Amino acid sequence: MNKLQEIIQMNTIGFLSFEPWYILEETPISADLLYFDKLMFSSASIETSEFICSKLPLRPIDKDLVKRKMNELDMYMKYGLVCEYSADDFKKDYSIFHSMKEASELGKYLIDNDFENPYLNKKNPKDHLFGSLSSLREIVELKSRIFSIINNSKSTNNYIPIIREKYRQNLMNEKLDISDAIGVVLKRFPIINLDTKIEKIIDFKSDPDTKIKLSRLRNWVTEISKSNMSIKEMEEKLDYLLLEYSNHMNLHRIEFDLGKIETLVTTSLAFIENLAKLKLSEASKLIFDLTRTEIRLLKAENSAPGKEVAFINKLSKITPYKSV
């Protein structure tokens, strides 16, 4: 297999950090699948999270969220869009873990830190629960980073840990800042309607235009993650590009709609007249005028400012827009 074939076949895989807060979030797994080709998760983390959720004093509505998230996970696994990384897989990769400096340093950081929040009162039950869940999220996300590094070393696919929140800044979790950039982007994705069928998502992502737009977005995320921007600056940049693209395309769509109406009116009259006189070459030219109008819109889209984030704009076609 040559280098070009490897690039074409390479998947971008998001490593899910399954912990109680994520399970209790209303945002469905499908939101991550819109950006990533596939998802992976640690089976050990999900078993721990399920156990903790079963012990929490949850409301009926929260229990329904847990059940819904787990059912969604099972469904995507059946479609081959989500797969697990088990404890046995890690045992097989243990030598890789120890041989890679970045992974072993993260492992050491994981062992050496207690992840306690010094600003919380342990004697307060709510603070204690919040602190425990926060610590667990940090631990699970660190493991996702480690597992992503391991899988990247043995695969042509690109594994990226999905990081929801950062509770503290440290040298260890600043190294993989592409996760920060993806986190900013995912927050601008619309909330997927839970009734949206998986076939609709698959068809949407299989569309050639969608693939181009998603590729541009991923490339922009990769490039911006290499800059010295802060998360706040990334958010402002993204919002600016979304506004630029939306304004540019709204203007050209108005021009397109007016041009289309004009073309349809003049074409219809001239087409009927030429057809009646059997001037078929003239009739066919008029049909092409309508096609040229559509091509002008496509050209405007390809040259639009903010085209790098056009994929987010297009997501409104699969679900009503409401950012996370």
Q: Pull the structure tokens for residue 290.
A: 């309508």
Q: What mean pLDDT comes out for the span 299-304?
A: 60
**Mean pLDDT for the stretch of residues 100-119:** 88
Reported as a pLDDT band with limits 50, 70 and 90, residue 170 is very low
Token pair 């839970």 is found at 194
Distances (CA, A) of 276 to 266, 270, 272, 289, 324: 16, 10, 6, 19, 57
pLDDT at residue 60 tops 90: yes
pLDDT score at 123: 84
The predicted pLDDT at position 198 comes to 87
253, pLDDT greater than 80: no
DSSP result, 27-70: S-THHHHHHSSEEEEEHHHHHHHHHHHHHS---HHHHHHHHHHH
Look at residue 251 in the predicted model and tell me its pLDDT.
Answer: 55
Identify the residue whose tokens are 């999270």.
49
- Under the banding of pLDDT at 50, 70 and 90, the label for residue 44 is very high
**Mean pLDDT to the nearest integer, 125-137:** 87
- pLDDT of 168 over the 70 cut: no
pLDDT value at 117 more than 80: no
Residue 77 binned pLDDT confidence (cut-offs 50, 70, 90): very high
In the predicted model, what is the mean pLDDT of the chain?
A: 79
Average pLDDT for 103-123: 86
Closest of 252, 323, 265 to residue 294, by C-alpha: 252
Question: Are the CB atoms for 146 and 156 separated by under 8 Å?
Answer: no
- Range with the poorest average pLDDT among 123-127, 181-185, 309-313: 123-127
- Segment 131-150 shows an average pLDDT of 92
258, pLDDT greater than 50: no
pLDDT of residue 303: 59
pLDDT confidence of residue 67 = 92
Residue 286 pLDDT exceeds 60: no
pLDDT at 22 over 80: yes
- pLDDT confidence bin for 266, thresholds 50/70/90: very low
Please give the average per-residue pLDDT across 86-110, as a whole number.
94
Residue 17 has pLDDT above 50, yes or no: yes
The answer on pLDDT for 21 being more than 70 is yes
Residue 25 has pLDDT above 60, yes or no: yes
Residue with the bigger pLDDT between 30 and 12: it is 12
- DSSP H helices in 36-191: 43-55, 60-78, 87-92, 94-99, 101-112, 125-153, 178-187
Q: Residue 163 — pLDDT band, cuts 50, 70, 90?
A: confident
Q: Mean of the pLDDT values across residues 49-77? A: 92
Is it the case that residue 39 has pLDDT exceeding 60?
Answer: yes
Smallest Cα–Cα separation from 216: which of 252, 243, 254, 245? Answer: 245
Per-residue pLDDT at 194 = 72
